[in-house]
Structure 1
Amino acid sequence: MNEMTRLAPADASDLWPVIEKGLARDGEFAVRDHLAAGFPVYYSESDTPAGLVVKEYPDGRRELVRHNRNADEVIRSL
């Protein structure tokens, strides 16, 4: 049984610690897998300005972007 199935309904509002733990454990694998499949990934770093994210492409290029539903607004290449 994993942590998600052990959560009682009363604990359902506090899933972030479980999600963060899973990302710490499996996040790097998921990122590598996504890039290998030819898709970009989005993330932030400690110095990423508020409202912006880093977009990394499978070829290693990185851009600082503002992400919205219509398209990414490229702020600058990194």
Structure 2
Amino acid sequence: MIDPNTLDAASPAEEEQFFAVFEHMLANDDGAEAARHLREGRAIFISDPRYPGRAVREHPDGRRELMRLEIASGHLVVERAI
């Protein structure tokens, strides 16, 4: 497990190591953690190349919503169901 809170005090070498581990984790993700969250009743956020600059919120019941970050308020906003 890596802790992103350690980045504030990380040296350049430690930061580089953190991102190397993080990129490795992303490249080898099997989706098990996302599936667990859905089974436990929590929505997940995923990226989808069909919607650049947006996130997709997927609910346990299968509903999917296209989300965008509203810069002025810092809130995620539902654009539409997909």
Same fold (TM over 0.5): yes
2:22 is matched with which residue: 16, 19, 36? 19
Unpaired runs of at least 5, structure 1: none
Equivalent runs, 1:48-63 vs 2, <5 Å: 48-50=51-53, 52-63=54-65
Equivalent runs, 1:4-15 vs 2, <5 Å: 11-14=13-16, 15=18
Q: Which runs of 4+ in 1 moved over 4 A?
A: 67-71
Backbone CA RMSD of aligned residues:
2.7
2:33 is matched with which residue: 30, 33, 37? 30
1:74 is matched with which residue: 64, 73, 78? 78
Unpaired runs of at least 5, structure 2: 3-10
Taking structure 1 as the reference length, what is the TM-score of the superposition?
0.68
Shift in Å, 1:11 = 3.5
**Residues paired across the two proteins, number:** 71
One-letter amino acid of the structure 1 residue matched with residue 43 of structure 2: P
